[in-house]
């Protein structure tokens, strides 16, 4: 895994309080990324901890487990309210699933009830779309909105790691596509034989909400988190 040729400004997040949902998944890596920007990172497990946040990150992990734990900790309702009231939120991998309004293939519990999401993004996602753990892969992506990192050579691609990642099958009005995995990369995916010549959406934005299928927090890629902080500040 390679680090991008871009050093985040450690003062960019100064004065901001950014929460990371810390029920399950790789929340520690996101907290480190937030703190590297100069922001205060806060692990969120209880509804009262949402008070005073400038933004929130929903990490990768198991979307079904995060869903169940959020309801058990009585966080699901307050999270939905916060998103609806305009709290900036970035969802990574499982976080993308939990921000989606619709899941094409939702998991079900023992009673047959489909998993729930917090919603907010008018998209339909497919869980584990690129395959299981053994189909994990890495690729470089052209990613819109990163002009702040441009050099004389242009904007460097984002090195993306996909670990049981979802993809977006439908985007609604007002949802901007930021990045796609191109057909040449789909040879890594278990479904590739049935998807010739089809690019897959892996990063989107709608207003104050941002989501990626991949994990920038595990590669040292700082620009996705910087984009999110710029969104919080109203600079992107």
Give CA–CA dist 109/101, Å, rounded. 19
The 3-state DSSP class for residue 229 equals: helix
Q: Is 49 a catalytic residue?
A: no
**Marked catalytic residue, from 30, 159, 217, 221:** 217
Q: Is 159 a catalytic residue?
A: no
Give CA–CA dist 227/236, Å, rounded. 7
Structure tokens at 131: 């395959």
Strand locations in the chain, DSSP E?
Answer: 17-21, 40-44, 55-58, 89-92, 100-103, 121-126, 137-141, 158-162, 167-171, 176-181, 200-206, 209-212
Q: Is 217 a catalytic residue?
A: yes
**Marked catalytic residue, from 93, 159, 208, 225:** 93
CB 132 within 8 A of CB 118: no
**Marked catalytic residue, from 159, 208, 215, 225:** 215
119: left (phi over 0), alpha (psi -120 to 50) or beta: left
Torsion of CA 140, 146, 149, 150, to 10 degrees: 80
Q: Tell me which residues are annotated as active site.
A: 93, 215, 217
């Amino acid at each position: 895994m390679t680090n991008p040729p871009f050093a985040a400004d450690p003062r960019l997040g100064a004065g901001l309080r950014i929460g990371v949902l810390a029920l399950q998944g790789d929340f520690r890596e996101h907290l480190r990324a937030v703190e590297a920007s100069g922001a205060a990172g806060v692990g969120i497990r209880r509804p009262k901890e949402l008070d005073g946040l400038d933004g929130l990150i929903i990490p990768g992990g198991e979307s079904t487990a995060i869903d169940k734990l959020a309801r058990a900790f009585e966080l699901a309702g307050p999270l939905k309210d916060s998103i609806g009231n305009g709290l900036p939120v970035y969802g990574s991998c499982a976080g993308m699933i939990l921000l989606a309004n619709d899941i094409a293939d939702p998991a079900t519990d023992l009673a047959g009830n489909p998993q729930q999401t917090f919603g907010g993004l008018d998209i339909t996602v497919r869980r584990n779309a690129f395959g299981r753990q053994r189909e994990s892969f890495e690729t470089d992506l052209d990613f819109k909105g990163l002009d702040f990192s441009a050099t004389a050579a242009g904007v460097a691609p984002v090195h993306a790691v996909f670990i049981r990642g979802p993809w977006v099958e439908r985007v609604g009005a007002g949802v901007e596509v930021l990045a796609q995995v191109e057909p040449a990369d789909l040879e890594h995916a278990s479904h590739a034989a049935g998807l010739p010549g089809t690019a897959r959406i892996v990063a989107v934005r709608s207003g104050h909400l941002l989501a990626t299928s991949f994990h920038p927090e595990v590669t040292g890629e700082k620009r996705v988190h910087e984009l999110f902080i710029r969104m919080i500040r109203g600079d992107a």
